[in-house]
């Protein structure tokens, strides 16, 4: 089995961490180095934009890196897509085989009618689990942010021991009492059309989407506004708003999944890195520090950013990941 150490030598020093078997390769696809990575000084690989059929739904994904390198699976949050990982994919591709899928109804994946039942976290977990198998991923490092954790934990729990390390970026392992969720509470309680409409009027607005990027950020001028404009525009597509409302409503069902994920991580203690914005309006620093209640040896680095920390701290997060994975795999 190919490990991070056997693929390339570490370029960053760090203290020793738990050693585990590395992620296996995905199915063979030829790639060629295109340029030098400014972070690692190694060749990086071009990003490929592919689709794969999962139960009749076309799932779009970004892929980069060499076949045979350890696999990193990137799962995005709401209301974004794999586009949020553009820079990180480039930085990781020098050493890892990177996959970043779009969920059904998001990004460039198909948007089946809601009657197909794809817009719950259980269904998204099933789709991404099938995606992992379909593209030939054996073992992987999971990078999850926001909704990506609720999806990724389901994949982790369904196929134990395939996740070799966890990287959490503003990703909940415990429920949050943030006021951000306040307008959802009445909708969670009764699911009425009236409260669904109130949730629509609050959450599916440019201001709320923009705040996910800029709230808690030290210097908002570092964030490309195209990111939140693109996310907001995607919510305006026919049917997209109702898909998001379905998933926002389904958040209420995740207590048992989070508990199962805690139990699994507590028992298995995979190498865990938390690289979150400490000023997150959803999952603030105290929420992210709770990872140590489950994985005492978790490495936690809270950066001076907000919920979408990749938007202004991508270089820092990539450097943390290279350091961590060089020691953990």
If you write DSSP's letter for every residue of 59-96 in order, what string do you get? EEEEEES-TTSPEEEEE--TT--GGGGHHHHHHHTTTS
pLDDT in the model for residue 17: 36
Q: Which domains does the chain have, with CATH numbers?
A: 4-178+254-328 (3.40.50.1820)
Q: What is the mean pLDDT of residues 288-316?
A: 98
pLDDT in the model for residue 82: 98
Residue 291 has pLDDT above 90, yes or no: yes
Q: What is the mean pLDDT of residues 50-70?
A: 97
pLDDT in the model for residue 41: 58
Considering only residues 279 and 4, tell me which one the structure prediction assigns the higher pLDDT.
Answer: 279
pLDDT in the model for residue 269: 97
CB 243 within 8 A of CB 237: no
Q: What is the mean pLDDT of residues 106-129?
A: 97
pLDDT in the model for residue 58: 98
- Which residue in this structure is represented by tokens 């949020």? 84
Q: Which residues are designated catalytic?
A: 307
Residue 6 has pLDDT above 80, yes or no: no
CB 173 within 8 A of CB 274: no
Q: What are phi and psi of 249, to 5 degrees?
A: -70, -35
What distances in angstroms separate CA 144 from CA 82, 147, 197, one per listed residue?
11, 8, 29
Alpha-carbon gap, residue 208 to 233, rounded angstroms? 13
Report the chain's mean pLDDT, rounded to a whole number.
Answer: 90
- Which residue in this structure is represented by tokens 């429920």? 175
pLDDT in the model for residue 259: 98
pTM of the model as a whole: 0.88
Considering only residues 308 and 37, tell me which one the structure prediction assigns the higher pLDDT.
Answer: 308
Structure tokens at 289: 């520090």
Alpha-carbon gap, residue 210 to 134, rounded angstroms? 35
pLDDT in the model for residue 19: 35
Given pLDDT bands bounded at 50, 70 and 90, which one contains residue 42? low
Given pLDDT bands bounded at 50, 70 and 90, which one contains residue 44? confident
CB atoms within 10 A of CB 220: 15
Given pLDDT bands bounded at 50, 70 and 90, which one contains residue 183? very high
């Amino acid at each position: 089995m190919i490990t991070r150490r056997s693929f390339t030598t570490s370029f960053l020093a760090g203290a020793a961490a738990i050693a585990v078997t590395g992620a296996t390769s995905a199915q063979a696809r030829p790639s060629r180095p295109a340029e030098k990575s400014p972070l690692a000084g190694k060749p990086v690989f071009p990003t490929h934009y592919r689709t794969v059929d999962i139960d009749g739904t076309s799932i779009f994904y970004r892929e980069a890196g060499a076949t045979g390198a350890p696999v990193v699976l990137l799962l995005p949050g709401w209301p974004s897509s794999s586009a949020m990982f553009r820079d990180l994919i480039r930085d990781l591709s020098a050493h890892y085989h990177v996959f970043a899928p779009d969920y059904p109804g998001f990004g460039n994946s198909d948007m089946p009618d809601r009657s197909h039942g794809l817009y719950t976290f259980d269904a998204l977990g099933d789709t991404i689990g099938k995606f992992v198998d379909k593209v030939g991923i054996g073992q992987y490092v999971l990078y999850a942010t926001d909704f990506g954790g609720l999806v990724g934990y389901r994949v982790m729990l369904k196929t134990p021991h395939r996740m070799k390390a966890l990287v959490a970026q503003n990703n909940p392992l415990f429920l949050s009492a943030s006021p951000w969720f306040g307008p959802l509470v009445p909708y969670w309680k009764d699911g009425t059309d009236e409260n669904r409409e109130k949730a629509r009027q609050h959450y599916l607005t440019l201001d709320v989407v923009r705040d996910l990027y800029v709230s808690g950020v030290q210097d908002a001028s570092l964030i490309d506004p195209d990111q939140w404009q693109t996310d907001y525009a995607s919510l305006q597509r026919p049917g997209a708003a109702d898909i998001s409302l379905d998933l926002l409503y389904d958040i209420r069902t995740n207590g048992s999944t989070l508990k199962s994920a805690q139990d699994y991580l507590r028992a298995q203690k995979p190498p865990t890195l938390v690289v979150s914005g400490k000023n997150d309006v959803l999952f603030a620093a105290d929420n992210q520090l709770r990872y140590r209640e489950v994985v005492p040896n978790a490495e936690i680095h809270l950066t001076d950013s907000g919920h979408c920390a990749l938007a202004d701290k991508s270089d820092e997060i990539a450097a943390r990941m290279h350091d961590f994975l060089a020691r953990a795999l």
